[in-house]
Amino acid sequence: AAGVIQSPRHLIKEKRETATLKCYPIPRHDTVYWYQQGPGQDPQFLISFYEKMQSDKGSIPDRFSAQQFSDYHSELNMSSLELGDSALYFCASSFRRSGPDTQYFGPGTRLTVL
Amino acid sequence: AQKVTQAQTEISVVEKEDVTLDCVYETRDTTYYLFWYKQPPSGELVFLIRRNSFDEQNEISGRYSWNFQKSTSSFNFTITASQVVDSAVYFCARETPGANNLFFGTGTRLTVIP
């Protein structure tokens, strides 16, 4: 079965640079979620989109923005990168149209800020 | 705050032993969902089980079993006859309908020694 695809898998950036992470949900899934997992920590919810509209917002810094496009893929844009942004970024997708559903996670993008 | 507590930070067992991972949650909602995810050393988050608050029936899937007790707000996970491939960090999480995100516990790192 098709899974959530994330690209790139690894990304190295310098401080103050920008980064764009991409997420392609499981086909027919209408909801995308972004999570950040720091070293040795649990995943923290950043933001979600349902049917291309922002659905819920968590602890996402103002330097970050995201959107979901007409083909349901999503991009997380990160600007003015800081050392503390180094983390594993997960995208998850689910099918919420008929009610709460399980979130399936992609393999993650490991961002390193130098 | 509505917390998810995984009091066991790290557990080590010898192969073929049984092991139980504890999860205690707080919630003010009558309807909610609980999850377990596995994060192996490769880093991805693998969905294991989803349980809604109205279904207290215990579940068994192969060597995995889950004990949901609403009276004690616990959702414990047992691995029978553990194997080295079970070595991973296991996260318990909850979702509240309408909140559209997962709130994770801090995880339990399980090491199975051959």
Nearest CA to CA, how far is B18 from chain A (Å)? 25
Task: Give residue-wise pLDDT tens across range B21-38.
Answer: 999 999 888 888 999 999
Say if residue A102 is exposed, middle or buried (CB neighbours under 10 Å; 0-12, 13-18, 19+).
middle
Phi, psi of B50 (to 5 degrees): -130, 135
Task: Give residue-wise pLDDT tens across range A26-73.
Answer: 999 999 999 999 999 999 999 999 999 999 999 899 999 999 999 999
Q: Label residue B72 left, alpha or beta by phi (over 0 means left) and psi (-120 to 50 means alpha).
A: alpha
CA distance A9 to A111: 8
Chain B interface, best mutation among A9, A90, A93, A103, by max B CB count within 10 A: A103
User: For chain B, which residues score pLDDT lower than 70?
Assistant: 1, 96-98
For B4, the closest chain A residue by CA position comes to A42
Nearest CA to CA, how far is A57 from chain B (Å)? 9
Among B99, B101, B104, beta carbon nearest to A42: B104
3-state secondary structure of A23: strand
3-state secondary structure of B101: coil
For residue B107, the chain A residues in CB contact (below 8 A) are 42
Helix (H) or strand (E) holding B59: strand B59-61
